[in-house]
Protein backbone atom coordinates (compact mmCIF):
# COMPACT_ATOMS: atom_id res chain seq x y z
CA UNK A 1 0.00 0.00 0.00
CA UNK A 2 1.07 3.55 -0.69
CA UNK A 3 1.93 5.45 2.41
CA UNK A 4 2.02 9.22 2.57
CA UNK A 5 3.10 10.68 5.88
CA UNK A 6 3.02 14.25 7.12
CA UNK A 7 5.32 15.50 9.82
CA UNK A 8 2.66 16.81 12.20
CA UNK A 9 -1.06 16.22 12.74
CA UNK A 10 -1.52 19.47 14.66
CA UNK A 11 0.61 22.60 14.63
CA UNK A 12 0.19 25.97 16.36
CA UNK A 13 2.32 28.89 15.21
CA UNK A 14 2.41 32.64 15.73
CA UNK A 15 1.88 35.31 13.09
CA UNK A 16 5.10 36.05 11.24
CA UNK A 17 6.79 32.73 11.99
CA UNK A 18 8.32 30.65 9.22
CA UNK A 19 6.53 27.30 9.05
CA UNK A 20 7.68 24.07 7.42
CA UNK A 21 5.26 21.26 6.60
CA UNK A 22 6.92 18.04 5.52
CA UNK A 23 5.49 15.22 3.42
CA UNK A 24 7.08 11.88 2.57
CA UNK A 25 5.81 9.13 0.27
CA UNK A 26 7.24 5.64 0.07
CA UNK A 27 6.08 4.44 -3.37
CA UNK A 28 8.51 6.15 -5.71
CA UNK A 29 5.75 8.37 -7.11
CA UNK A 30 6.71 11.07 -9.60
CA UNK A 31 4.02 13.59 -8.66
CA UNK A 32 3.42 15.29 -5.34
CA UNK A 33 0.85 17.90 -4.35
CA UNK A 34 -0.01 20.29 -1.53
CA UNK A 35 -3.63 21.30 -0.91
CA UNK A 36 -5.44 23.26 1.72
CA UNK A 37 -8.91 22.19 2.81
CA UNK A 38 -11.36 24.72 4.22
CA UNK A 39 -15.06 24.14 5.00
CA UNK A 40 -17.25 24.91 1.99
CA UNK A 41 -14.26 25.52 -0.27
CA UNK A 42 -13.22 21.93 -0.94
CA UNK A 43 -9.59 21.21 -1.77
CA UNK A 44 -7.56 23.99 -3.30
CA UNK A 45 -4.21 23.23 -4.90
CA UNK A 46 -1.31 25.28 -3.61
CA UNK A 47 1.67 23.77 -5.46
CA UNK A 48 2.59 20.57 -7.21
CA UNK A 49 5.74 18.90 -8.44
CA UNK A 50 6.32 16.45 -11.29
CA UNK A 51 9.93 15.70 -10.52
CA UNK A 52 12.77 16.48 -8.20
CA UNK A 53 13.56 20.21 -8.09
CA UNK A 54 10.49 20.89 -10.24
CA UNK A 55 7.50 22.88 -9.03
CA UNK A 56 4.38 24.35 -10.53
CA UNK A 57 2.00 26.87 -9.01
CA UNK A 58 -1.49 25.70 -8.27
CA UNK A 59 -4.58 27.82 -7.77
CA UNK A 60 -3.57 29.61 -4.55
CA UNK A 61 0.26 29.82 -4.32
CA UNK A 62 0.45 33.29 -2.73
CA UNK A 63 2.17 33.23 0.64
CA UNK A 64 3.59 29.74 0.10
CA UNK A 65 6.68 28.16 -1.39
CA UNK A 66 7.77 24.55 -1.82
CA UNK A 67 10.90 22.46 -1.99
CA UNK A 68 11.53 19.05 -3.53
CA UNK A 69 15.17 18.07 -3.15
CA UNK A 70 14.49 14.33 -3.06
CA UNK A 71 11.86 12.34 -4.93
CA UNK A 72 10.13 11.08 -1.81
CA UNK A 73 9.92 14.39 0.06
CA UNK A 74 7.89 17.51 -0.69
CA UNK A 75 7.96 20.43 1.72
CA UNK A 76 5.52 23.32 2.01
CA UNK A 77 6.90 26.55 3.44
CA UNK A 78 4.96 29.47 4.85
CA UNK A 79 7.56 32.26 4.77
CA UNK A 80 5.66 34.48 7.21
CA UNK A 81 2.57 32.82 8.63
CA UNK A 82 -0.65 34.80 8.78
CA UNK A 83 -3.96 34.08 10.47
CA UNK A 84 -5.68 33.51 7.11
CA UNK A 85 -3.38 30.53 6.58
CA UNK A 86 -5.06 28.68 9.44
CA UNK A 87 -6.33 25.56 7.68
CA UNK A 88 -6.01 21.82 7.12
CA UNK A 89 -3.09 21.06 4.81
CA UNK A 90 -3.13 17.86 2.78
CA UNK A 91 -0.24 16.31 0.89
CA UNK A 92 -0.79 13.81 -1.90
CA UNK A 93 1.23 11.81 -4.38
CA UNK A 94 0.48 10.01 -7.65
CA UNK A 95 2.37 7.68 -9.92
CA UNK A 96 2.70 10.05 -12.87
CA UNK A 97 4.55 8.48 -15.82
CA UNK A 98 2.88 10.77 -18.31
CA UNK A 99 -0.61 10.44 -16.91
CA UNK A 100 -0.81 13.58 -14.88
CA UNK A 101 -4.40 13.25 -13.73
CA UNK A 102 -3.81 9.96 -11.93
CA UNK A 103 -5.15 8.54 -8.68
CA UNK A 104 -3.84 10.57 -5.77
CA UNK A 105 -2.89 9.10 -2.40
CA UNK A 106 -3.29 11.45 0.52
CA UNK A 107 -1.57 11.89 3.83
CA UNK A 108 -3.55 12.29 7.07
CA UNK A 109 -3.31 16.08 6.99
CA UNK A 110 -1.80 18.76 9.20
CA UNK A 111 -4.18 21.10 10.99
CA UNK A 112 -2.31 24.40 11.26
CA UNK A 113 -3.48 27.17 13.54
CA UNK A 114 -1.82 30.57 13.25
CA UNK A 115 -2.39 32.83 16.24
Partner 1 sequence: AQSVAQPEDQVNVAEGNPLTVKCTYSVSGNPYLFWYVQYPNRGLQFLLKYITGDNLVKGSYGFEAEFNKSQTSFHLKKPSALVSDSALYFCAVGNTNAGKSTFGDGTTLTVKP
Which residues are at the interface with partner 1 (CB under 8 A)? 4, 33, 35, 40-45, 48, 56, 58, 90, 92, 98-109
* Closest CB to partner 1 among residues 17, 59: 59
Q: What angle do CA 90, 62, 108 make, to 5 degrees?
A: 5
CB of 6 to partner 1, least distance (A): 9
* Closest CB to partner 1 among residues 75, 93: 93
* Closest CB to partner 1 among residues 81, 107: 107
CB of 102 to partner 1, least distance (A): 8
- Distance (Å) of CA 29 to CA 14, 46, 51, 57, 66: 34, 19, 9, 19, 17
CB of 84 to partner 1, least distance (A): 19
Strand 105-106 to 10-13 pairing = unpaired
CB of 31 to partner 1, least distance (A): 9
**Closest to 107 (Cα-Cα) out of 32, 8, 3:** 3
Amino acid sequence: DVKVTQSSRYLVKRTGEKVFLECVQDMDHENMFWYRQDPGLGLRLIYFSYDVKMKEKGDIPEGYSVSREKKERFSLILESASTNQTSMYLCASSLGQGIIADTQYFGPGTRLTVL
